Structure 1
Amino acid sequence: MRPRIIPVLLLDSRRRLVKTRCFGNEVYVGDPFNVIRIFNEKEVDEICVFDINASIEDRRPDVGFISELASECFMPLSYGGGVRSVADATPIFAVGVEKIVLGRAGVDAVVVRTLADSFGSQAVAVCIDCRRINNDWRVGLDRGRIITDVDPVTRARAVEQAGAGEIILQSIEGDGERKGYNVDLISAVSTAVNVPVVALGGAGNVSHLIEGLRAGASAVASGSAFIFIGRLRAVLITYPSPEDIKDIFAGSGVLS
């Protein structure tokens, strides 16, 4: 299977599509349904939708809204935000979502294992948010409000052992900056686990996607690279053309 190139959409508490920088400074960028329709036309590999405030606000997933999103989405859809149990996940899968992404709940090995046993590891991903503290990487929770003393490699191995079938590895300080992924972080985690690692946080152009794959990521994801254009961050929904995708694979040494 060739690597995936994945747009990531962030929803705020009012179900608006926003983009953040370093997990703060939310900027409204559009209606999620309209953006999903554009990505349908561009035939993207997969799309991730995250409700970024669900855990902080102690909200359970809004299945009715998720159902509406899934009905508009013609590509595989992953959803994260407020999922903590089989009871939360069951109706989400029932409306057509293919994968759930755990944030805070991914810390609990029992939750990860129960979900993996119930739906299969391929349907359970864990997002590991990372911040650099004194030249060491540490795992953050709740949009970086809590910084743990756990390093990303240790957390990645733990969630793999618990049954997660994929890890989304996100640099908090890279989020929205469009200066490139942290390739050392990607390499360290990718070589430590056997499950796919999705690079997220920092990509701004095609060359950054190539760098993420070269570093060992199985897939590259971004919000900014597919939503903003130019130095002034004008909103323009884009996705690599088939020719660009061939160049990405050629540049990364991956065959399509």
Structure 2
Amino acid sequence: MESSLADQLLNADINAGVAKRIIPCLDVKDGRTVKGINFVDLRDAGDPVELAWQYSAQGADELVFLDITATHEKRKTTVEMVKAVARNVNIPFTIGGGIHEVADAEILLHSGADKISINSAAVKNPALINTLANAFGIQFVVVAVDTKHIDGKNYVHLNGGRIKTDILTEEWIKEAESRGAGEILLTSMDHDGTKNGFDCTLLKKINQSLTIPLIASGGAGSKQHFTDVFLEANVDAALAASVFHYGEILIPDLKDSLRASGIKIR
């Protein structure tokens, strides 16, 4: 009876709450969209501005761009891409990669980005979250977290997943929220690119302790996987890359499927 009641309450929350979001993610390297498996073996997936336009036309709710090899030398290229995306889409988009200080974020926001995403820089300097939230407002600050399950615990990883830290994922997310993160973008490295489904168990556990939106990332391979993550983990948004980039799932079809499952979608 208790589990049945809990399921009913969860479903009521999903149906009555804020509409869920579908977010294509574009990992950008040297001005091109790329995609790999478990953060390695990258292959070209197209022009980011062209893909952004296509997703906007298909009905995506937001976009996320992550410059996975961002450096200060390449900042000009990233800024030009942001300006081009802003000219071509009419939906909010987030840009991340190489943001270490207010000036970095300011350039991107003034170029047309709606939000900025920070990952490794925030772990190395947690006060950066406070600084950015104070400068622009928490609604502009997304903290991205790359996590991997090792020996029964979830650990934060840095530099595109290449460096393991001793920081427990759940503890870091709580700290990020307390410092002013407006959203958490959680990527399961174990699931990323596998197309075997989202890590619903971890996402549900973390989401229950959060008061800010949680974006699920890593593992989408079918329309059912999106249904599962919304129903099982009640996340606010689901993000994917390759299934959208290579036309395996079309956003209008995905939204129809979610609505048919009783999920409130934009």
Residues 40 and 147 of structure 1, relative CA distance in 2, 3 Å threshold: same
Alignment of 1:188-207 (within 5 A): 188-207=205-224
TM-score (norm 2): 0.86
Q: For 1:222, which of 228, 240, 247 is the aligned residue?
A: 240
Equivalent of residue 75 in structure 2, options 40, 55, 61: 61
Q: In structure 1, what residue type is equivalent to 2:237?
A: A
Give the letter aligned to residue 224 of structure 1: S
Bigger CA radius of gyration: 2
Q: Which residue identity lines up with residue 236 of structure 1 in the other structure?
A: G
Partner of 2:161: 144
Q: How many residues align?
A: 245
Structure 2: segments with no counterpart, 5+ residues: 1-17
Counterpart contact for 1:77–1:97, Cα < 8 Å: yes
Residues 104 and 60 (structure 1), Cα distance of their counterparts in 2 relative to 1, 3 Å cut = farther
Q: Which amino acid aligns with 1:2?
A: A
* Change over 3 Å in CA distance of 1:147–1:249 after alignment to 2: farther
Alignment of 1:224-243 (within 5 A): 224-227=242-245, 235-236=246-247, 238-241=249-252
Alpha-carbon distance between aligned partners in 1 of 2:102 and 2:82, rounded to the nearest angstrom: 16
Whole-angstrom distance in 2 between the partners of 1:76 and 1:152: 27
Alpha-carbon displacement from aligned partner over 1:73-122 (angstroms, at most 9, x marks no partner): 22111100101111111121112110001011222221100100111101
TM-score normalised by the chain length of structure 1: 0.89
1:232: which partner in 2? none
Matched residue type, 1:218:
D
Match of 2:192 among 175, 178, 182: 175
State the percentage of identical aligned residues. 30
Distance 1:38 1:155, change over 3 A: same
- Counterpart of 1:29 in structure 2 is 45
CA drift of 1:184 comes to 0.9
Between 1 and 2, higher relative CO (CA 8 Å, sep ≥ 6) is seen in 2
Inter-CA distance 255–173: structure 2 relative to 1 (3 Å threshold): closer
Counterpart Cα distance in 2 of 1:217 and 1:69: 27
Distance across 2 between alignment mates of 1:122 and 1:240: 25
- Counterpart of 1:105, as a letter, is A
Report the Cα offset of residue 212 of structure 1. 1.3
Distance in structure 2 (CA, Å) of the matches to 1:43 and 1:240: 7
Provide, for residues 131-181 of structure 1, a one-character-per-residue CA deviation record: whole Å limited to 9, x for no partner.
Answer: 111222111111122111222110110000010000000011211111101
Q: Contact 1:211–1:252 at 8 Å: present in 2 too?
A: no
CA distance in 2 between partners of 1:122 and 1:21 (Å)? 30
List aligned pairs for 1:1-256, cutoff 5 A: 1-12=18-29, 14-54=30-70, 61-62=75-76, 63-107=79-123, 108-214=125-231, 215-227=233-245, 235-236=246-247, 238-241=249-252, 244-251=254-261, 253-254=263-264
Normalized per residue, which structure has more helix?
Answer: 2
Q: Secondary structure at the match of 2:220?
A: coil
